[in-house]
Amino acid sequence: MDFNAQLQAYRERIEHGLGALVPAATTRPARLHAAMRYSLEAGGKRLRPVLVLAAADLFGAKTDALSAAVALECLHTYSLIHDDLPCMDNDDLRRGRPTAHKQFDEATALLAGDALLTLAFQLIGRHYAATPALCAALTREIAGAAGSERLIGGQMEDLLAEKKNDVTASELEFIHLNKTAAMLSASLVAGGLCGGANESQLATLRDAGRHLGLAFQIVDDILDATADTATLGKTAGKDAKAGKTTYVKLHGLDASRRHAREQSAAAKAALARLPGGAPFLTTLVENMAARTM
């Protein structure tokens, strides 16, 4: 199967999984479940769940990774809903649609985010109960990536950095590594765990995710500075307008483009060490760096 057909097949599996594993919009309280589904069904690239499924397939996927993939997308969507809230980034547009608090209201958006975060762990507990060691490893990996030292810690430092005009390169790297790369690494590792990867392969997946995350965030900053709102599906130029320290502000456009290329090359070098050389994931990294997906 070529790359695009494989990507399409993964996305269809993910959409089916989301449809089946997330409570219906009519489930009581319907307003809450409708808000959860509104944000999930707004689309998005499904990058994290695709990473889960593709990493699992590298090792022959001993256990079905779909529930883990759906859990990662629920968790990611919660972080987007909360990031858009007035007390955080205060954004009106996400995934090409009004943000959850604009479409519903602030309290509903807050609760929908809380519920998606909780649902992620309910899915892991429910669907991997027959393999307790796998269930524990997935919980450890995903909770670690989402917790106070990684995703939420990165978000905290990001908010603190907004108030500073002397943010250093290493402070910005901390934010990127934790706000962005942690969830990408956890997605690859979760797939590896479902597939039965050994410790050294899990470490390689973690390393690939770290480099992919840095490349991804640098490209995100470049796009924020160069693309328009319609192309992005979210408000463009917002970071620059808010005086926020971005990769582009700190290093300039040329160096940012060079660093993005270096990080994506490092991600590909890590992937080359995995079984079969991980051709699908390698092309995915190339497309992410060029943002053609």
Which of residues 134 and 248 has its CB atom nearest to ligand GRG in the complex? 248
Instruction: Determine which helix (DSSP H) or strand (DSSP E) holds 75, and give its type and residue range.
Output: helix 66-84
Which of residues 105 and 276 has its CB atom nearest to ligand GRG in the complex? 105
Instruction: Give the C-alpha separation, 145 to 193, whole Å.
Output: 15
Q: Which of 11, 31, 45, 244 binds ligand GRG (CB under 6 A)?
A: 45
Applying the rule CB under 6 A, the residues between 207 and 226 that interact with ligand GRG are: 217, 220
Q: Which of 37, 101, 179, 210 binds ligand GRG (CB under 6 A)?
A: 179
- Quick one: which of 162, 164, 198 has its CA closest to 273? 198
Per-residue contact string for residues 96-115; x = within reach of ligand GRG by CB under 6 A = --------------------
- Choose the stretch contacting ligand GRG; rule: CB under 6 A; options: 22-30, 59-67, 77-85, 253-261: 77-85
Q: Which of 80, 182, 218, 222 binds ligand GRG (CB under 6 A)?
A: 80
Q: Residue type at 99?
A: T
Rg of the Cα trace of the chain? 18
CB 278, min distance to ligand GRG, A = 20
Q: Which of 47, 53, 188, 236 binds ligand GRG (CB under 6 A)?
A: 47
Taking CB atoms, the residue at the shortest distance from ligand GRG is: 44
CB 188, min distance to ligand GRG, A = 14
| Residues near 282 by beta carbon (within 8 Å), at least 6 away in sequence | 268, 271, 272
- Tokens 């470049």 -> residue: 222
* Cis-peptide, bond into residue 49, ω within 30° of zero: no
151 binds ligand GRG (CB under 6 A): yes
- Quick one: which of 142, 194, 171, 159 has its CA closest to 250? 171
91 binds ligand GRG (CB under 6 A): no
Which of residues 43 and 276 has its CB atom nearest to ligand GRG in the complex? 43
Q: How many residues are given for the chain?
A: 293
Tokens of 276: 């079969």
CB 130, min distance to ligand GRG, A = 30
Instruction: Give the C-alpha separation, 291 to 113, whole Å.
Output: 27
Tokens of 191: 């797939």
Instruction: Give the C-alpha separation, 101 to 269, whole Å.
Output: 41
Binding residues (CB under 6 A) for ligand GRG: these are: 44-45, 47, 76, 79-80, 82-83, 95, 151-152, 155, 179-180, 217, 220
